[in-house]
Amino acid sequence: MKNDPKRKIYTEILKTKGYKLTAPRLLVLDVFLQNRKPLNADFVYEKVRTKKTDRVTVYRTLKIFESARVIHQVNLKKDSVFFELTKDHHHHIVCLECGLIEDFDACTIDQLAKNVISKSPYFSSIDHHSLELFAICKKCNKG
Amino acid sequence: MKNDPKRKIYTEILKTKGYKLTAPRLLVLDVFLQNRKPLNADFVYEKVRTKKTDRVTVYRTLKIFESARVIHQVNLKKDSVFFELTKDHHHHIVCLECGLIEDFDACTIDQLAKNVISKSPYFSSIDHHSLELFAICKKCNKG
DNA sequence: ACACTAATTGCAAATCATTTGCAATTAGTG
DNA sequence: CACTAATTGCAAATGATTTGCAATTAGTGT
Ligand SMILES: [Mn+2]
Ligand SMILES: [Mn+2]
Ligand SMILES: [Zn+2]
Ligand SMILES: [Zn+2]
């Protein structure tokens, strides 16, 4: 949404890093703001193709957003790569059989991360983390 | 190694699930037992190609091992998919710049997982989890 | 040990996601 | 409004993974 308060945050990040705010980039950003779940290139492309935006541009935009830390990859064990907005942090339980995804917010990683960092010879801070749970859902357990 | 005590555990799992213990499958299993880190198809193939094992067979074997829960995918944000042995559970800090990987074992997910499960309408137990930390390593922070 | 059969393999070709080269277009600056 | 580097679209290339199919083989039972 154009009126999402987070929209400005992300556009500012992009500007600060020296990226131009082009039409395709704003379109892709809005797809993420309007679909609060992990998205892959194909999903994004289907949403912007009508507006004369090429598939290649989607891929390149995802790369730029990733390097600007506007989005980051989510590990869902699917065939293609999924991304979500950096500031929409949450996690998932994924069914190993049918792919059902449930979100959850509770996350106690920060303390664990501190411990790990304090012992690490190579790292001194964490940028972000990925935590996903995998299971067989109740429905698949019966079938 | 033929003498790794875990080897029998994995071969029993495969037998129980009805998979034949073929030469290529044992070769691939041994590659995982001898290289305790996340491996992709190409790494495995390079280790077994001398022994007349096709790349396709490696891919098919990885699929079978995954469905038998002998290995599972690890999210490292690389171009190809990485796997590790299910019973070698540990986690990673990955440098977003240079790709440096550091292992760590400490993991307090079990309690968190219990909480999540107790509130979930769709899931009643966790099979396994994926937890990776992403950061810029000390070296890359300078350069 | 030998025969049987379904599972597995290797090879070649196909497919799918993602990347690259390049000429045309455009955002941001002054 | 002009300038210029960044960005885009199209077509072709690449790289990973998958599929079809005939030949081979593990596991089962004789
Ligand atoms: Mn998430
Ligand atoms: Mn691990
Ligand atoms: Zn399910
Ligand atoms: Zn680094």
In this prediction, residues B47-74 reach a mean pLDDT of 93
The domains located in chain A, with CATH, are 1-89 (1.10.10.10), 90-143 (3.30.1490.190)
pLDDT greater than 80 at residue B102: yes
Tokens of A131: 């935590």
Across the interface, whether the CB atoms of B136 and A127 are under 8 A apart is answered: yes
User: Between A55-67 and A41-48, two packed helices, what is the crossing angle to 10 degrees?
Assistant: 120
Other Cβ atoms closer than 10 A to A143: 8
- Which pLDDT belongs to residue B68? 92
Q: What is the pLDDT along chain A (143 residues), one digit of tens a residue?
A: 667 889 999 999 999 999 999 999 999 999 999 998 889 999 999 999 999 899 999 999 999 999 998 998 887 766 677 888 987 778 888 887 777 888 888 777 888 888 899 999 999 998 888 888 888 899 888 76
For the ranges A15-24, A34-43, B101-110, B124-133, the one whose mean pLDDT is highest: A15-24
pLDDT greater than 90 at residue B87: no
- Which pLDDT belongs to residue B105? 81
- Which pLDDT belongs to residue A77? 67
- Which pLDDT belongs to residue A26? 96
B105 touches strand D (CB under 7 A): no
Spacing of A103 CA from C30 C1' in Å: 49
- Return the H-helix or E-strand segment holding B134: strand B128-135
Q: What is the DSSP string of A13-27?
A: HHHHTT----HHHHH
Instruction: List protein-proximal bases of chain D (any atom < 7 A from a CB).
Output: 6-12, 15-20, 25-27
Query: Does the CB of B122 have a partner CB in chain A at under 8 Å?
Result: yes
Query: Does the CB of B56 have a partner CB in chain A at under 8 Å?
Result: no
- With 0.85 as the threshold, say if the pTM is over it: no
Closest by Cβ to A130, choosing from B111, B122, B132: B132
In this prediction, residues B93-113 reach a mean pLDDT of 81
Total count of residues recorded for chain A: 143
Tokens of A82: 């999924």
pLDDT greater than 80 at residue B76: no
Other Cβ atoms closer than 10 A to B72: 20
A14 touches strand D (CB under 7 A): no
